Structure 1
Amino acid sequence: MKVLSLILSLAAAPVAAADIVHFTTEDYPPYNFRVGSEIRGAGYDQVLLMMEELKIPYTLEMMPWARAIALAQSEPMHCVFTTAHIPERDKLFRWVEPIAVGRNFMVAHKGSGIKVANIEEAKTYIVGTQRNDYTQTLLENEGFSKIDLATDLKLTLKKLQSKRIDLMPISEQHYMELQEKGEELEAQFVFSEQKFAIACNANFPEDLLARMQGALDKLIADGTQAEIFETYNLRYSNFGMIAAKP
């Protein structure tokens, strides 16, 4: 695993290790993803601009989601993004938000013949998602009994394409990107809506959290966040229009 070190040095005396913020993230386009050796994405860009504004030293590493969120939950100076802020996670972390607001569609492989209009109808099928992702929690809370777990989103998508699973939840933006690339996917219904955020350890310093929130608020207020969304073609469509290409 290649670690992307992005440690910013302060002009003053050396910074203690306890004062360095450690960010973890996953490969989850369009919010954070790799292009060669670089990390990009709508969530990633916002984190960089926030930390540059604050002149706070930090590290950032991309890794499997289960490990990324576990570190933020167990290590005091760790934060993970882009994290869905769902009720089950609310008390586990301290939050800087919103990085984005999004929806998930329940999708099937085009040509599979599967047609489901709601959660109850979808429960009769095998539904795949990545392990420890918030969609796993949503599926379990809704009473899905046939849940197939993979290590990441790409593997789940491969399972759907090879018909090893019947359905999977996927973000609206990523679904639209895959549609434009010619992937044989078909949205069935809106599965969930959620706020995306930076989730920091429950013992993360309050004053530092407040400064990070202030930096994000500034990105939102001055239009920078909207510009980032435009850069990554983030757009929110009516469900009936999602299959249309721009």
Structure 2
Amino acid sequence: MPNRVHSTAVVGAGVELGENNVVGPYAVILGPATIGDDNWIGPHAVIGGPAEDRALAHPASWEDAPTGDPERDGHGVRIGNRNRIREYVTVHQGTWRTTSIGDDNYCLRGSHVAHDCVIQERVTLASNVVLGGHVEIWSHANVGMGTVVHQRVRVGPGAMVGMGSAVRRDVGAFTICVGNPARVTSINTVGLSRCGLDESAIEALEPWLKGKGDLRKDGLTDGVPEDISTLVTAWGARPQTRS
């Protein structure tokens, strides 16, 4: 189906739009950017602005086509399918990789995705969430209103971050954390059940979620849906960062 782009929206050169996207009044999408299908992009959202880095160029991308030079144009933005990107959301160009938002995510009003961030699938960013540069938000995570996530931090799959938190270190898979600085308070059993785990599977996985078990050695993913097993295994195998 054709896209519905409001007459006041700005879609710059170097932007590739898929099908059946809605782009609201005064929204701005600047290239290089790739937008998939069935996305809803609200009024005054800005996608593809230059990274907030003093050393980088700030071209007038709404007037000038991308040159193909990453030092001038950035490394682009890639947005998948079926995302809801609400009013005043901002998504910046990458500096060394593409800033990416996967499929089926919901970015509420005024949330900010900085340069080089990676958001996987089925993530919720509540209103006024601010992600610093290079942040990774893994699938099924939920970040509460007004939360600030420090640069290079990773929020694990299925994690829930309480509103108003200041996240300064990685947040474990399917944990709940809150505060300033944010600290883990419990396991996100509601999130696990929504992902298809029954009580016995949650009980088996809980030691690993608390840092006390070995996924492969202890067979903790038995009874866990394959997609979630793959996700938590990938999280467990990720390179560690310093706190």
TM-score, normalising length: structure 2: 0.21
TM-score calculated relative to the size of structure 1: 0.21
* Higher helix residue share: 1
Larger RCO of the pair (alpha carbons < 8 Å, separation 6+):
1
